[in-house]
Amino acid sequence: RKDSARYAKMPPGPTPLPLIGNILKVNGRTPHESLVKMSKTYGPVMTVKFGSQPVVVLVGLDAVHEALVQQADVFAGRANIPLFMKVTDGTGIGMTNGECWKQLRRFSMATLKDFGVGKRSIEDCIREEAKYLVKEFQKYEGSPCDPMYFLSTAVCNVICSVVCGERFEYQDENFIELMSVINTIIYQMSTPLAQLYNVFPNILRFLPGPQHIVLQKIKEYQKMVAAIVEKHMDTVTAGSPRDFIDVYIMKMKQESNNPGTNFTYENLHGTVSNLLMGGTETTSTTLRYGLLILIKYPHIQGKIQHEIDTVIGRERNPAYEDRKKMHYTEAVIHEIQRFIDLAPVNLMHATTKDTIFRGYTIPSGTAVIPLLHSCLFDSKHWETPYSFNPNHFLDENGCFKMNPAFLPFSAGKRVCLGEGLARMELFLFFTILLQNLSFRSIVKLAEINLSPDESSFVKLPRPYNFLVYPR
Ligand code: HEM
């Protein structure tokens, strides 16, 4: 069939201009808001052209759920996102498709579990990191502290201990460099320019401008990941794997006679790269944004501390199991994730075959944005979507209640692979920090601006300092 016929019954959308499509209608700083606005005219399933690429945008929980969950296989593909492709050269769990992605995902989930993710041993590891974090913050008693670096370090150490088999000292120069590179890449990827790069990579690659910072940092990151992998290749011992990378290397050796294997060196590099980047910036940004919210609303911080004192006390270490009795704390953590809306436009998906969706025909390989922002702020599901309100997750008896529109990790077959780990980290880091310390603002509470600094890919809070007090 001719291409024009395949695209004839696509969902409606604004009329595109030649070459640039509809990008003038999409605000580079807040693309998620432009898309929600557009859907008021074109409906919850629409086609928006990013340059010459048609993208089906799903707005609101019903459309997102119908696609990602009810037609799970069809919507489980990953689209080509130029900057992300650059990070891993299109390899690894996050960016591959089909059988290769299925095998890498299954292997990664099983291996993470074997190294304690979702179990007691990772809990111990998170608790240990949280203790270091408390110690570092205690050094700042009475003077302003920017928590960003410390939070990234603690979170990065958790994923590193599973993937690379070691944690790093906070002062380790290579480690500081690794985090700084990850941080710069995510920051640059969240700027409007990065979105423009993703639409016109072939033009922007040849023009001078700040897009080259991110391209340079990506190269540095690739070298760092390669050094970690190489060190493992040199030191791995058959039969006694130390970590995720060792298990992968053994699998790679086992499959060395299979020319069609997906367990290649490139996919090892790509998967390690996905796990370190995916496992660090998301969770540490949630903690950093969350603490900013808790210093703006000291009464909410106080209520969490009261619940910690009642359920856990001041002596015993918090356990993940405690969350079942800590309804208010759970509600606040969920509300932090909803309100900060970390990945408003999600990672772009693609259809894996031709499909009919709500009467429209969507060809195989079409890019799809399941707009997470539109679920987390869907007024059909949240009483006061634009204000921070822990009651969104509490019933009339003050018990925690889930909400189906809570999709910060997305849904369906591509759902965040680190969801379980991230939830455990958020609960334990918040409770251990607040069991030992109180955090207060340096500026007047009314001056704390909770709106994001950048938000085109990840919503990042404005930089801030806080004051730390012992409890
Ligand atoms: C608060 C923390 C986190 C948030 C909000 C988050 C969010 C997301 C989102 C929205 C996606 C895209 C899902 C989709 O394509 O539909 C994703 C994918 C992914 N995340 Fe996370 N994530 C978090 C933590 C983590 C952690 C700790 C890890 C490491 C274990 C991780 C590893 C990944 C990987 C590997 C993917 C790609 C999955 C695939 O394509 O099959 N994430 N995450």
Residue 101 is which amino acid? Answer: W
Asked if pLDDT for residue 1 goes beyond 60, the answer is no
Query: Are 13 and 48 within 8 A, CB to CB?
Result: yes
Average pLDDT over residues 300-309: 98
Question: If you search the block for the tokens 């007691």, which residue do you land on?
Answer: 120
What is the token pair recorded at 4? Answer: 């024009």
Nearest to 387 by CA among 379, 395, 397: 379
Helix (H, G, I), strand (E, B) or coil at 208: coil
Answer yes or no: is 416 a known binding residue. yes
Tell me if 372 sits within 8 A of 341, measured CB to CB. Answer: yes
The CATH architecture of the domain made up of 3-470 is Orthogonal Bundle (1.10)
Tokens read off for 215: 């391209």
- Ligand 1 contact, 273 CB (< 6 A): no
Q: Which of 390, 409, 389, 414 is nearest to 400 (CA)?
A: 390
CA-based end-to-end distance of the chain: 70
Bridge partners for 259 per DSSP: none
Buried b (16+ CB within 10 A) or exposed e, 426-463: bbbbbbbbbbbbbbebeeeeeebeeebebbbbbbbbee
Average pLDDT over all residues of the chain: 94
pLDDT tens column, 184-217: 999 989 888 888 888 888 887 888 777 888 899 9
**Residue 280 beta carbon below 6 angstroms from any ligand 1 atom:** no
Q: Say if residue 4's pLDDT is above 70.
A: no
Select from 409, 415, 458 the residue to mutate for testing ligand 1; criterion: most ligand atoms less than 8 Å from CB.
409
Name every residue whose Cβ is closer than 8 Å to that of residue 10 and which is 6 or more positions away in sequence: 47, 54, 56, 360, 361, 362, 366
Say if ligand 1 is within 6 A of residue 416 CB.
yes
The structure tokens listed for 303 are 């209520």
Per-residue pLDDT of 374-405, as tens digits, reads: 999 999 999 999 999 999 999 999 999 999 99
Across 245-272, average pLDDT: 94
Angle between helices 265-296 and 173-189 (to 10 degrees): 80
Partners of 55 in the β-ladder: 48, 367
Which DSSP string do the residues of 407-447 spell out, in sequence order?
Answer: -TT--GGGS-TTHHHHHHHHHHHHHHHHHHEEEEESS-GGG
pLDDT of residue 203: 83
343 CB near ligand 1 (under 6 Å)? yes
- Cα of 47 to ligand 1 centre, how many Å? 25
Confidence band (pLDDT; 50, 70, 90) for 2? Answer: low
| Atom of ligand 1 lying closest to residue 94 CA | 40
Mean pLDDT of the region 147-157: 94
Rounded distance from Cα 6 to ligand 1 centre (Å)? 32
Distance (Å) from CA 384 to ligand 1 centroid: 27
Q: Output the residue whose Cα is nearest ligand 1's atom 22.
A: 416
| Residue 103 CA, ligand 1 centroid: distance in Å | 17
Give pLDDT, residue 70. 97
ipTM of the complex: 0.99
What is the average per-residue pLDDT within 319-338?
98
Helices and strands counted in the chain (H then E) = 17, 9
Mean pLDDT, to the nearest integer, of 280-289?
96
Distance CA 333, CA 222 (A): 33
> 190 and 83 in contact (C-beta within 8 Å)?
no
Confidence of residue 128 (pLDDT cuts 50, 70, 90): very high
The rounded percent of the chain whose pLDDT value lies above 90 is 82
Would the pLDDT of 8 be above 80? no
Lowest mean pLDDT among 18-27, 147-156, 194-203: 194-203
